Amino acid sequence: MFRSILVPLDGTRFAEHALPAALSLARRAGAHLLLVSVSTPLTEAYVEGLYFNTLELEQEVTARHRTYLESVAGRLRERADVQVVARVLHGEVGPTLCGLLEQGEADLVVMATHGRGPLGRFWLGSVADEMIRHAPAPLLLIRPAEEEPDLTTQPDLSPVVLPLDGTVLAEQILSPAVALAEVVPGAELILLRAIHEAAPITPPPDVPEAEKEARTLFRQVQALQEKLRKDAEVYLDGVAARLRGKGLRVRTRVLAEDHPAVAILKEAEEEKAGLIALQTHGRRGLSRLILGSVADKVVRGAHVPVLVQRPRGG
């Protein structure tokens, strides 16, 4: 269960698109919201022979951040009986946010995938990338829209498409995914595994012996794929049984697809998923295990929120 939800904000409407989901989850989980804006250090400015002391400018920027955050906190408190804390921090954005998580200040981050700050610093996109790779807590990434975020909405995060690859590392995403599912009424998990797709082998023309060997080899590949499929089904059924024991609704899917990201995005679209949840990396093999590049492609290609987590011990 989540106790504290961190929402990084940069003063933009884009970043605020994380707020509806964060508010909804905080209310359902009984968690408090931690709104954070990071003010990056300024250096001394030199213009036309004059030095400008940046201390006053930094104080002004900090005050502006604080006023903005308190305004957002007030709007959230009006919508729900949720504890909201606003903090302005100083430093480089990514390391500062990760430092908060390392100190145990929050156990979930909800943030937009990109945005542009009032001082022209385009930071949320690069920060999201940095946190995907380094944050010691799960991240719920929200793709921002053009319109104003609506705090009255209750984002539907079900069903949850949850890719697994048969490894302990990949299964670490189950804990935060289940924690989310448990606070979403009627949530359903779709456990997904992608295996190699068996492709026909084209022999050289007018070579009967080669054609015969190609057919034989293709049958062997098909048999291997069928074994992979059965093994994947047995594995997913085992995981599903454990989750059903917690009272969760679970389905399983095995897809033949050489590109895991394609399989994940296709399944999410066909199932009208409300959320995709996956580890950020694993190892590679015949079972098409989840990699960092796959997570990147899913985050960039998904039209629904994506829950990611850097695996421990990976």
In angstroms, the CA 267 to CA 174 distance is 18
The CATH number of the domain holding residue 179 is 3.40.50.620
Residues 171 and 304 in one domain: yes
Evaluate whether residue 224 is within a structural domain. yes
Tokens describing residue 87: 């903090």
Contact 248/178 with Cβ under 8 angstroms?
A: yes
Residue 149 within a domain? no
User: Element (H or E) spanning 190, and its range?
Assistant: strand 188-195
Ranges 104-118, 193-207, 254-268: which has the least confidence? 193-207
Q: Looking at the structure, tell me whether residues 205 and 280 fall in a common domain.
A: yes
Q: Are residues 226 and 271 in the same domain?
A: yes
Domain that holds residue 77: 4-142
Lowest mean pLDDT among 15-24, 99-108, 116-125: 116-125
Which helix (H) or strand (E) segment holds residue 38: the answer is: strand 32-39
The interaxial angle of helices 54-79 and 19-29, nearest 10 deg, is 60
Number of structural domains in the chain: 2
Residues 206 and 95 in one domain: no
Assess whether 186 and 56 both reside in one domain: no
Residue 124 in domain = yes
Q: Are residues 171 and 302 in the same domain?
A: yes
pLDDT of residue 201: 58
Average pLDDT rounded to a whole number, residues 75-89: 94
* Domain presence at residue 186: yes
Asked whether residue 293 is domain-assigned, the answer is yes
Residues 158, 148, 303, CA angle at the centre, nearest 5°?
35
167 and 299, same domain (yes or no):
yes
Query: Regarding predicted confidence, which is higher, 3 or 44?
Result: 3
The two structure tokens encoding residue 27: 């209310």
Closest CA to 299 of 312, 290, 287: 290
Instruction: Check whether residue 119 and residue 199 sit in a common domain.
Output: no
Residue 155 lies in a domain: no
Query: Is 150 within a domain?
Result: no
Q: Is residue 137 located within the same domain as residue 212?
A: no
Tell me: do 34 and 174 sit in the same domain: no
Same domain, 92 and 138: yes
